[in-house]
Amino acid sequence: MSRVSPLDITKQLEHMEIELTKLNAKRSLSEVERRLEIAELGNCLLLKDTAHPQSPYYNRVKGFGPGDIPLLRRILNHYGEAAPCFDLTPNHMTADVSEALLKQGYMPVEQLVFLAARPKTQAKPSLPEMRIEAVTGESAETFISWIARSNGEAPYSRNIVDRVKGYFHASHFHNYMLTIDGRPAAMGSLFLHGSEGYLANDYTFEEFRGRGCQTALIGHRLSAAAELGLENVYTDVEFGSVSHANMEKAGFRTAFINTFWMHG
């Protein structure tokens, strides 16, 4: 990672995650298009999806800290009948903040580990039957079918595919398909914003787990990031997960752990 303070890394990563959220809203494979709005109040960014008010990911309060406690009622009113998720970084997790949220019926229900690394060229997969290809205009629909399969869903409608397929091979959003013996095995993405990148959407199909697919995709994307001249690459994982271990092995180091506070 570049030589910046932990708080600066937190701010950079938070900004990057916001940009990724905007993209995710645009490329969403939901039948009803997302309508993401972002407002500022105090030190907070209020993410609100008016089409899907129950989504904790797209209805989040970021940046809430001690100085924003007097604004809490206005923040909640911004969401109407819906209850937003409060996405708190460690520097904002004080006793006063916790008490204020608890009084409104919120509780901490989930955490994510955010990690950072410097891009570097990695060794290519050693298994000859393993192949990684970038998604292109020609393969975007195939990639979307992989996503449907990973979610256990039927193929997406023609309307959805036509609406979003261009995002999956955009210059700032690189997606990768890993096959073994020509069969779909795993996938992952690299989101670009300025001189930084974000690894996301890692998934390995069940029958291919334990064969190094995710490790190969992480290395491939770090190499791609190095070739692009990116300074830092970020990602997020569930603490103690297989993904957490794989990211650590690839050189990622913990930047911070955030906590999601949700109502009820």
Pairing of strands 173-180, 130-134: antiparallel
In a domain, 80, yes or no: yes
Q: What is the pLDDT of residues 95-115, one digit of tens each?
A: 999 999 999 999 999 999 999
Residue 24, domain member (yes or no): yes
Residues 14 and 69 in one domain: yes
Two tokens at 231?
């300074």
Give the closest residue to 224 by CA, choosing from 119, 139, 116, 115: 119
Asked if residue 260 belongs to a domain, the reply is no
Residue 209's CATH number: 3.40.630.30
* Amino acid in position 66: P
Please name the residues in contact with 240: beta carbons below 8 A apart, sequence gap of 6 or more.
none
**Residue 141 is part of which domain span?**
130-230
pTM: 0.94
186 belongs to a structural domain:
yes
Q: Band of the pLDDT at 15, cuts 50, 70, 90?
A: very high
Q: What is the pLDDT of residues 181-218, one digit of tens each?
A: 999 999 999 999 999 999 999 999 999 999 999 999 99
pLDDT value of residue 124: 78
88 and 151: one domain? no
Q: pLDDT band at residue 161, thresholds of 50, 70 and 90?
A: very high
Q: Into how many domains does the chain fold?
A: 2
> Quick one: 14 and 97 in the same domain?
yes
Q: How far apart are CA 238 and CA 7, in angstroms?
A: 21
Same domain, 164 and 108: no
- Tell me the pLDDT tens digit for each residue of 19-55: 999 999 999 999 999 999 999 999 999 999 999 999 9
